[in-house]
Amino acid sequence: MRDTIRFLKGGEIVELSNVGPTETVLDYLRLRRRETGTKEGCGEGDCGACTVALGRLIDGKLVYQPVNSCIQLLGMIDGAELVTVEDLSDDTRLHPVQAAMVEMHGSQCGFCTPGFIMTLFTLYHDAGAEKSRKTVTEWLAGNLCRCTGYRPIIDAALDSCFDAADDAFSWRAHETREQLRQLSDSSDVFIGDSDCFFSSPATLDGLAALYGQHPNATLVAGATDVGLWITKHLRDLPKMIWLGRIEGLDRVEDSPSGVLIGATATYAATEEAMTGISSNLGELWRRIGSKQVRASGTVGGNIANGSPIGDTPPALIALGTTLELHSAEGSRALPLEEFFIDYGKQDRRPGEFVTGLFVPRLSANQAFRCYKITKRFDQDISSVMGAFRLTVDGEGVVTDARIAFGGMAGTPKRATGAEAALKGASLDDPSTWGAAMQALLSDYTPLTDMRASAEYRMETARALLAKALMEVSGTAPEELRVLAKREAGHDRAA
């Protein structure tokens, strides 16, 4: 048992024994270390002003990823290298990214600049990134600038981020890898007492035992949701159990039959495998949050928190995903749609937790489509999320359908009436689709809230069903998607 967390900062190992269960990396930097280059903006992982980089060993390779320090718990950086804007330059020169931002006039008021710099630092160290404006804008989708304008920032990125890394971090990469290996151990971490603690078990059995003793503890994986419980809801969470050190829980296993995803596997780690199942699924993954959110947030967490507007559950339900749960009493599996019982309520027994999920591949006669409808394209919560898996025979007749929506009910929910009505419909005859469109009116009773009215949600759901049927029947997706036309126009203008 270890009663400290350990991480690298500025090339030195830092060891802390006084770590509160809800203390964030941002508060540690600004309040304890007085390193105020990292800024506090939205406090919810949207604006990117608080971005820092975490370096970890992934398959033996040193990888730097951007994270939002305002919602990243301090205990969660155990075993990592923490890099802030103060660490980039030395007494003689700026980091290449910083120098490019100065040269390209990429900063006015400067409040957001450290966050941009840190996100671009991680791009600078991503050797596989393709040099393009699209790459840069995707990388910066989680960083907000209110005064400079993005053009000079993008220019700075294009100028500095796509040559071979040549900075202090690349020069000492071997030493850093060795230090991170030294920090890696199989000890359980427990800081505090039975009434108030931060803990990080190293094994599944250790987690089951601890959670069995403290079923009222908060389980956290990426903290992209739990972090907001702390910063926005101001919840008192005295017992925190981080799952990030459990060996094997971050697995992503690709097989001919499907993909097995461990509960702590992040969106970033699973994006390639999900794209392999369907390009639609890969595009959905790319639109979940930002680089910062996808580097920390987990698919298992998106499911376990039971949100009715979570992005992944409708798509995974439509694909026929199976969920695995575990406790000290043993393990069990159930279809994902059965996990969601009611708003804020899941089929999870005391001491039980999500350990993984299995996403089956599509068969040769199946087609899949999913659509995320939001007020803005990037960094937004769904108003409606629709997913459709259609099984079609050689004559173009639908023999089976799985349809699921988010944002239409208190839980992610299948459209069983529309599914039944679609059986026997012909993709070549839109007149046979009407019964399914009508059935959606009975499948859901959506609510009106700040994101959308009930009427808008219902009309959008019906339109998405029609869109899916049209695409599967042969209509080119770009003919039905406004964004594709906008992107084409931008390419022509460029």
**Residue pair 339/323 in contact by the 8 Å Cβ criterion:** yes
Name the average pLDDT for the chain. Answer: 94
The predicted structure's pLDDT at residue 483: 58
Model confidence over 185-223: pLDDT tens digits? Answer: 999 999 999 999 999 999 999 999 999 999 999 999 999
Model confidence over 88-107: pLDDT tens digits? Answer: 998 789 999 999 999 999 99
Using CA atoms, how far apart are residues 357 and 181, in angstroms rounded to an integer? 29
Model confidence over 235-283: pLDDT tens digits? Answer: 999 999 999 999 999 999 999 999 999 999 999 999 999 999 999 999 9
To the question of domain 5-183 being in CATH 3.40.50.620, the answer is no
The predicted structure's pLDDT at residue 482: 65
Is 83 strand, coil or helix?
strand
Residue 380 burial (C-beta neighbours within 10 Å; 0-12, 13-18, 19+): middle
User: Amino acid identity, residue 196?
Assistant: C
The predicted structure's pLDDT at residue 91: 79
User: CATH second-level architecture of 366-482?
Assistant: 2-Layer Sandwich (3.30)
Using CA atoms, how far apart are residues 246 and 235, in angstroms rounded to an integer? 26
Residues above pLDDT 70, as percent of the chain: 97
Task: Single out the residue of 199, 203, 198 nearest to residue 186, CA to CA.
Answer: 203
Is 338 strand, coil or helix?
helix
The predicted structure's pLDDT at residue 301: 95
The predicted structure's pLDDT at residue 493: 37
**Residue pair 87/95 in contact by the 8 Å Cβ criterion:** no
Residue 478 has pLDDT above 90, yes or no: no
Task: Single out the residue of 322, 333, 319 nearest to residue 369, CA to CA.
Answer: 319
Using CA atoms, how far apart are residues 353 and 51, in angstroms rounded to an integer? 30
Using CA atoms, how far apart are residues 421 and 202, in angstroms rounded to an integer? 49
The predicted structure's pLDDT at residue 90: 84
Question: What are the beta bridge partners of residue 41?
Answer: none
Q: Where are the beta strands (DSSP E) in 285-397?
A: 322-327, 330-335, 340-342, 345-346, 353-360, 366-373, 384-392
The DSSP code for 40 is P
Domain boundaries, the chain: 5-183, 366-482
The predicted structure's pLDDT at residue 309: 83
Model confidence over 385-408: pLDDT tens digits? Answer: 999 999 999 999 999 999 999 999
Q: Show Cβ contacts of residue 27 under 8 Å, excluding neighbours closer than 6 positions.
A: 74
Query: What are the CA-CA distances from residue 53 to residues 27, 118, 158, 303, 385 (Å)?
Result: 16, 6, 20, 26, 31
